[in-house]
Amino acid sequence: MTLAQHAFERLQGWPDLSAGPASCGTGRALCSVRDEIIHFHSDRDVDLHLTHRAIQRFQYDLGGSTAIRLVPGSRWVTVHLDCDADVDLLLSLVSIALKAHQSRATAGPPVGCNFHRVTVLPRATAGEA
């Protein structure tokens, strides 16, 4: 079982999430009543839909993680799953995303995820010349 499959199975059991196709057309999504929260694009890469406010609040923490990729102006963060700790990080961020979306006044129009906007290099080669 891949790390993404493991994360999907764990999250699919959460009562606030339901499974469906990703609106970007690639992979599966888990959705809250109001919004798509997470897209599973591959065995290792997922996009997580946070609010602008949540990204601002956790920007330095997110930017300091080797598992997270931020795209300027996007309300989605890409999480690259290399180990079990990355899955645990993802689950924590999904909890933050659910809370952020519940406290948002209204659901806005769907926004595109980061699929094809982020290139994730394996950690073994990242930073090598």
Q: Which residue has the higher pLDDT, 71 or 38?
A: 38
Please tell me the predicted confidence (pLDDT) of residue 17. Answer: 95
Q: Rounded distance, CA 48 to CA 127, Å? A: 24
Mean pLDDT to the nearest integer, 105-118: 65
Kindly state the percentage of the chain with pLDDT values over 90: 52
pLDDT at residue 125 above 80?
no
What gap in Å lies between CA 11 and CA 62, rounded to an integer? 20
Q: Give yes or no for a contact between 91 and 80, defined as CB atoms under 8 angstroms apart.
A: no
Predicted model pTM: 0.82
Whether 104 has a pLDDT exceeding 80, the answer reads: no
CA distance 78 to 116: 11
Query: What confidence tens digit (pLDDT) does each residue in 28-52 have?
Result: 999 998 889 999 999 999 999 998 8
Give Cβ neighbours of residue 53 (< 8 Å, ≥ 6 apart): 100
